Structures are given as structure tokens and as C-alpha cells.
Amino acid sequence: MAPSSTHTEITTIVENEEDYPKLVAPQAAPRKYDIVYFNLLTFGYAHLITLYGMYLAWTTATWKTLIFNHIIFMLAAVGVTAGAHRLWTHRAYKAKMPLQIILMVMNTLAFQNTAIHWVREHRMHHR
């Protein structure tokens, strides 16, 4: 067991904390919000088409179409997460040119602007 003499040292440290001035976080300027009308229209249209696609999936689509849709969805998800996000935004790993081209094509399947714009906006998000 440790000697009990350190108890007085801890008490002294706690009492001296009151001597320090209270730190106040710097206040940020009011945030300016910009409405990107192109993205507003694009994503609004995508949501409307998604509702229509879900209607078709439940009423007239074949299982082959649903499997194809799922494959495209997975490719787009990998393109965004492994390509635009991990590779180019955070530079988490290095990839040779053929893999970069494949990831860029997969990223375009997600219709989330170009990879360059996606990376720029996501880097600004982390600042």
C-alpha cells in the first residue's frame, strides 16, 4: 500500500486551483449559412425519384432489377467511403492509379458532386 502522506499533497493542489483564472473558450463569429441551390434541387429531385423507385420496386420491378440496384448502391457507397472520404479527404492510405480510377468511377455512382468538390467540402467540414 502507498503511504498516506500523498493525501496532503492532493489537498494542497485542489486548494491552489482556485488561484487560477477561469478559462473561457473563444467565441466564434456567427455562422453564415449559404444555400447551394444546385445541391438543393439535385438532392430534392433524388428524394422524389427515390419515392417513385420504391413504389416501382414494390409493384413492378423484377428481382434482377432489385439485385442490380443493390449492387450499384454498394459500389457507390464504397466509392464515397473508401475513395472520396478515406483516400482523398483524410489520406488514410495510398492507392495506385488503377484503383483511384475505379474508386472515382464508383464515387460518381453516388451522384454527390465530383470527387474534388466532395473532398473540398468534407475538409471544410472538419475545420
> pLDDT tens, 51-101?
999 999 999 999 999 999 999 999 999 999 999 999 999 999 999 999 999
Q: Which residues contact 39 (CB under 8 A, 6 or more apart)?
A: 113
Contact 84, 119 (CB under 8 A): yes
With cut-offs at 50, 70 and 90, classify the pLDDT of residue 1.
Answer: low
* pTM attached to this predicted model: 0.63
**Terminal Cα-to-Cα distance of the chain (whole angstroms):** 47
**The pLDDT of residue 13:** 53
